[in-house]
Amino acid sequence: METLVPFDEVIAKYDPALGLEVHVELNTNTKMFCGCPAVFGGEPNTQVCPTCLGLPGAMPVVNAKAVESAIRIGLALNCSIAEWCRFARKNYFYPDMPKNFQTSQYDEPIAFDGWLDVEVEGETYRVEIERAHMEEDTGKSTHVGGATGRIHGADYSLVDYNRAGIPLIEIVTRPILVPAEKAPAVARAYVGQLRDLILALGVSDARMDQGSIRADVNLSLALKGADKLGTRSETKNVNSLRSVERAVRFEMSRHAGILDAGGAVLQETRHFHEDTGTTSSGREKSDAEDYRYFPEPDLVPVAPSREWVEELRGTLPENPTQKRARLQEEYGFSDLEMRDVWAAGALPLIEATVAEGTAPQSARKWWVAELLRRANDAGVELAEVGVTPKQVAEVQALVDAKTINDKLARQVFDGLIASEGTAAEVIEKRGLALVSDDGPLIAAIDEALAAQPDIAEKIRGGNHAAAGAVIGAVMKATRGQADAARVRELILEKLA
Amino acid sequence: MSDELIHKTAAELADALAAGETTSVEVTQAHLDRIAAVDGSAESGVHAFLHVDAEGALAQAAESDARRAAGETRHLLDGVPIAVKDVLATQGLPTTCGSKILEGWVPPYDATVVRRIKEAGLPILGKTNMDEFAMGSSTEHSAYGPTRNPWDQSRIPGGSGGGSAAAVAAFEAPLALGTDTGGSIRQPGAVTGTVGVKPTYGGVSRYGLVALANSLDQVGPVTRTVLDSALLHELIGGHDPLDSTSVDVPVGSYVEAARAGATGDLAGLRVGVIKELAGDGWQPGVMQRFAETVDLLKELGAEVTEVSCPTFVHAMATYYLILPAECSSNLAKFDAMRYGLRVVPDGDPSAEAVMKATRDAGFGDEVKRRIMIGTYALSSGYCDAYYGQAQKVRTLISRDFAAAFENVDVLVSPTSPTTAFPLGDKLDDPLAMYLQDLATIPANLAGVPGISVPAGLADEDGLPVGFQVLAPALADDRLYRVGAAVEAALTSRWGGPILAQNGAL
């Protein structure tokens, strides 16, 4: 069992060097090197052809759309775009990889030397991008018969090549040198901002939970003031923002435990465990690992014309960081409000709701205060909670028209999530509309006052705050369907 | 009748079919009969075929005849049968690459060249023998036993495409497809007295060609005449969207060039004799026929000069670094998991053990040798010194070609340093075997096209000698012009085609 050093002690003694490798699965129609559909799922081995099965004689052809996406990602990350680059073969054995080499890029990536500014608690940190290169995904193994679902102990393994050949972009940072205490948060913010950028570019579904964005966390520690980097570990396939932060934090504590005890950190790959927030050893990875790279002879070089690159530059969306600042200003959100909006991934939803005519604060309130809780409870992304921006706008319009109040609106959302129809239909079915006729309200007021004659006296005597108790009784009598302000008016009129 | 049919060239067969003098079924049956008569087995006979598809070929022939009867033909060669080297994927027909590791593998798809010949209506007689994964110069490295040279069955037919060349030389097929990575079409052509063409790299699709060395491989025709090669080349050539290295330019007028050359006029053609591809170690009888052929070119009006390509002496070393590097990567896919051979050792069914046992049993010595060399040449710490250096020399070889082609239209040399040697002679001496491709390798390294045409028989052993013509990239038409001129002039001197002089046939 590892000795974990408390985070405060780690940062007092060590400086981390952090590096992130993020794989982005592109949402092209077809695979990287063949015409097979590049969609997630499907019956195993139905979206395959001689090329992505690596059959003898089959040859790859580069997907031009994937090159376009790679260039756009590169440009959005402020990278230089290669005038001429090649694919290389990365030779190693992997059971899911039918050719036993991966077609990737080695010393000639399509995009290189860029940066992304990352904001954490009002501070900006520049993360330098070393490269963004194109490669293909592997297939997927299922190990059958064992207790753990892992290969050890399994009776046999099944391989599905539907995913083999799906285009990936790998974005590699240079070592990120940040104040030790900020490292976990910067890592999280970087991946989050990268995800938002990818989403804004429209080049990927950017679903971390489905693996369309996966982060590998490289981390090493060195004593403060040392001029040498320590030995790094590589935690593979971390697939949520929270996990990125936890993985960095855990590895810092683990490395420090080893170093404090005078031990040596092993250069190895590690697995991250969502449930415990810990990592465990994968395979040892020494410098001797030899991929025997050489240029893929079956593919001609990729040489994007400068005109095309400039044309693509013109298609870039507004930088998400700038957009965030602009919208915060426009919407009048406080820093704290904006942080919550950002963390929830709610900005695009709020933007769409505002576009339907809703006031920004109302839109924010529904998405972050109300619907986020339901998304969390259901374990889904906010965008998949079951309510659209248009529906949120409709609900708010009904509130504004005093057809319902906020409390009833929550029940309307329940109905919308349960697919009970439109907002109006939900209100109809569930009988949620506010009582608009004064008659029943006056009757309820009379009843409440009769039950509590002393209160009526207090109000008559000028103590208007005492009306609250009557309002409460009326609300109860009407099952919340009374407009509290109107009830108050009626009480005061009556007792004037 | 059938004897008459098998001795016709593909062009003659096409004419006979068009004139209604014969049918594709008759022609195909005649060749199947010839195969049955002479091909034999791994133990004796020519053994040009690893797999004969009599049923399929006859069915295709019958369809061709039906089309013709209905007044439709798809191509001039519609109905003319063909043999295909076993390194090209054929849907529904075994494809083994001469290796045990692919024994029984039947591809679910056709190589582009196979698709094109099928669409043109050429019945496929079967798959021809080859050195395992095209590694060798004698077809003795086939896991299924050697092919024998129809001129003298104690001798090799060249390699790796010995099966295709022998099938054509033995009149078992009028046409064949071969592949040429370092000379595997031209050298077998030379030693069997047939015509073999390596097109410009990228001129013919490689899709479905099981790669030996992807940056060197090229599919090309093996035939008995230059005109037949031109016909087949025009059929299989041209851009293929499935092969990104295939060049997107129109196919040249090779048939026209061959017909022009056959008139015997080479006035004004500038011919360079490559100084480095001759000399010590070259068989005297080969050099003698070569010199005579050069003189013949002069008689036909060509201006002949000697040209030096100094880096060609490094071509062999360069080739034997680049080729193993690429093939070591290509052959990694044979892991016993999805197709082909699978050997499960007693007591240890783990993936690693199965893979190891299968590769041990499935790959021959030459294949293992090249995998090891290639793995070493690409490994970190050695990659720059070997693979990287080889790529630089490769560039220099291309520059030598470019410089030479500034002054001449074509370059010439003997195709192979020797005539066919006895089976087993060089089997234990890989370096001696490699030297067979000395003259052919530079063209593969530079991607330029080459042809080997029969240049007579060597005095000392009475065996065929090949004359090689090389042209700049995409100038394949020059090969046909010069090749056809040589062929016509020599045929008239001998009183007929060279294969007619083979008493053994």
The 10s digit of each residue's pLDDT in B447-493 is 999 999 999 999 999 999 999 999 999 999 999 999 999 999 999 99
Interchain contact A54–B (C-beta under 8 A): yes
| CB contact (8 A) between residue A56 and residue B244 | no
Distance (Å, rounded) from C-alpha B375 to C-alpha B373?
A: 6
Q: pLDDT class for A156, splitting at 50, 70, 90?
A: confident
Q: Cβ contact (<8 Å) for B107 and A290? A: no
* A61 touching chain B per CB within 8 A: yes
End-to-end CA separation in angstroms for chain B: 17
User: Looking at the predicted structure, is the pLDDT value of residue A465 above 80?
Assistant: no
pLDDT 10s digits, B403-435? 999 999 999 999 999 999 999 999 999 999 999
Max CA pair span of chain B: 73
B97 touches chain A (CB under 8 A): yes
| Interface pTM, i.e. ipTM | 0.95
Nearest to A132 by CA among A23, A255, A219: A23
**Residue B279's pLDDT is what?**
81
Question: Of A136-145, B293-302, B356-365, B444-453, where does mean pLDDT reach its minimum?
Answer: A136-145
Identity of residue B373: I
CB-based contact (8 Å) between B104 and chain A?
A: no
The pLDDT score that the predictor gives to residue A78 is 96
Whether residue A159 is predicted with pLDDT greater than 60 in this model: the reply is yes
Q: Between chains, do B97 and A56 touch, taking CB under 8 Å as contact?
A: yes
Range A53-75 average pLDDT: 98
Contacts of A93 in chain B (CB under 8 A): 332, 335
Q: Where is pLDDT greater, at B443 or A286?
A: B443
Burial class (CB in 10 A: 0-12, 13-18, 19+), A393: buried
pLDDT reported for residue A109 = 98
Rounded percentage of chain B residues whose pLDDT exceeds 90: 94
Nearest to A292 among B105, B214, B379 (CB): B379
pLDDT for residue A1:
58
Summarize pLDDT for B136-195 with one digit per residue, the tens. Answer: 999 999 999 999 999 999 999 999 999 999 999 999 999 999 999 999 999 999 999 999
Distance CA A122, CA A412 (A): 37
Predicted confidence at residue A26, as pLDDT, reads 97
A60 touches chain B (CB under 8 A): yes
Task: Give the burial string for A330-348 (b: 16+ CB within 10 Å, else e).
Answer: ebebeeebbebbbebbbbb
- Helix ranges restricted to H, A60-115: 64-76
* A435 has a pLDDT exceeding 80: no
Give CA–CA dist A236/A217, Å, rounded. Answer: 7
Instruction: Indicate the average pLDDT of chain B.
Output: 96
Order of strands across the sheet that contains A233-238 = A80-81, A111-120, A123-136, A167-173, A14-25, A213-223, A233-238, A268-273, A278-284
Contacts of A62 in chain B (CB under 8 A): 244
Give percent above pLDDT 90 in chain A: 59
Q: List beta partners, residue A222.
A: A15
DSSP B447: T
Chain B residues whose CB is inside 8 A of the A59 CB are: 206-207, 242-244
- B-chain CB neighbours of A60 within 8 Å are 244
List, for residues A84-119, the tens digit of each pLDDT value: 999 999 999 888 899 999 999 999 999 999 999 998
- Check if B127 contacts A (Cβ < 8 Å): no
Q: Could you check whether the bond before residue A69 is cis, i.e. omega within 30 degrees of 0?
A: no
Closest residue, chain B, to A92 (C-alpha):
B332
> Tokens 């004593």 map to which residue?
A223
pLDDT-derived band at A447, boundaries 50, 70, 90: confident
Is some CB atom of chain A closer than 8 A to the CB atom of B326? yes
- Note the pLDDT tens digit of each residue in B44-86: 999 999 999 999 999 999 999 999 999 999 999 999 999 999 9
Instruction: Determine the residue among A53, A59, A100, A152 to mutate to test chain B binding: the one whose Cβ has the most chain B Cβ atoms within 10 Å.
Output: A59
Furthest-apart CA atoms within chain A: distance in Å: 97
User: CA separation (Å) from B46 to A360, B135, B179, B307?
Assistant: 86, 20, 20, 39
Q: Give percent helix, percent strand, percent coil of chain B, each to the nearest 5.
A: 45, 15, 45
Whether the Cβ atoms of residue A447 and residue A477 lie closer than 8 Å to each other: yes
Q: Are B193 and B225 in contact (CB under 8 A)?
A: no
The mean per-residue pLDDT over the stretch B274-291 comes to 93
Confidence label for A254 from pLDDT (cuts 50, 70 and 90): very high
Nearest to B203 by CA among B385, B438, B448: B448
Q: Indicate the residue type of A270.
A: R
- Report the range of poorest mean pLDDT among A12-16, A41-45, A300-304, A459-463: A459-463
Report, in this order, helix, strand and coil percent for chain A, each rounded to 5: 40, 20, 40
pLDDT attached to residue A295: 96
pLDDT band at residue A473 using 50, 70 and 90 as cut-offs:
confident
CA dihedral of residues A485, A487, A488, A494 (deg, nearest 10)? 150
Q: How confident is the model at residue A285 (pLDDT cuts 50, 70, 90)?
A: low
Tell which of A48, A97, A298 to mutate to test the B interface (max B CBs under 10 Å).
A298
* Residue in A251, A188, A239 with CA at minimum distance from that of residue A214: A239
A300/A305 Cα distance (integer angstroms): 15
